[in-house]
Amino acid sequence: MVQENDELILAQTELRDFKRTVLALRQELENAHAETDERIRAAAEVAGTEIAQLKTTVVALRDELEKAQVERKREVQQVTVANHQEFMQLKATVASLRDTLEAAHIDKDSSVRKAISGASAEIAQLKATIAALREAIELAHVEKENALHSQLNQHHGELAQLQGIIRTLREQLETHSVKTAA
């Protein structure tokens, strides 16, 4: 009987130790869950802040791209107006030269030959000048367009890169969420 009491006391002692161990393990588990929850909340907050910053950056880049497009259209319009004005001036110059040539024809035949010879050379020179000016204008226009396209491509590249970063961050956040949920 004494032995039975000793076994009973020993069993009760072990049971009490097991209960204490279970309580301690439960407390550690709850602490671990609380730490995990806090880490998840902090990571979500950081990711949310980064996403908001990226969205702001994307909006700013979009605005800048739109401004660049408007500026390009304005510059193209200015070049078109300048080309038209120059064309009208050249047309007036050619008309004036034609009038001068006709007036010289009325004066004298000999002076007409001289005037025609001089005017022909001048017309050829003006035509060469006109062609050179047109080519210079077209070259300037092409260079401007190339510069604008280059800038536009650069903005598109930056936008695509930012979108890739957003996707990567989103995938990392989802992967982290799935890992923490598991």
As a whole number, mean pLDDT of residues 133-137 equals 89
Read off the pLDDT band of 56 (50, 70, 90): very high
**pTM given for the model:** 0.33
Render 64-106 in DSSP notation, one character per residue. Answer: HHHHHHHHHHHHHHHHHHHHHHHHHHHHHHHHHHHHHHHHHHH
Q: How far apart are CA 27 and CA 22, in angstroms?
A: 9
How many residues in total does the chain contain? 182
Task: Please state the φ and ψ torsions of residue 108, each to the nearest 5 degrees.
Answer: -145, 150
As a whole number, mean pLDDT of residues 56-85 equals 89
Q: How far apart are CA 76 and CA 84, in angstroms?
A: 12
**Can you give the pLDDT at residue 73?**
92
Q: DSSP character for 9?
A: H
- End-to-end distance of the chain based on CA atoms, in angstroms? 52
pLDDT tens sequence across 150-172: 888 888 888 889 899 889 988 88
User: Count of domains in the chain?
Assistant: 1
Residues above pLDDT 70, as percent of the chain: 91
Task: Of 17-26, 34-43, 113-122, 124-133, give the lowest mean pLDDT range.
Answer: 113-122
Q: How far apart are CA 148 and CA 117, in angstroms?
A: 46
Contact 162, 54 (CB under 8 A): yes
Token pair for 29 = 């588990």
Amino acid (one-letter) located at 4: E
pLDDT tens sequence across 75-120: 889 988 888 898 899 888 888 988 886 776 666 667 657 767 887 8
State which residues form the domain around 86: 2-181
CB atoms < 10 A from the CB of 119, how many?
A: 19
What integer best gives the mean pLDDT of the chain? 85
Q: Please determine, for residue 137, whether its predicted confidence score (pLDDT) is greater than 90.
A: no
Read off the pLDDT band of 34 (50, 70, 90): confident
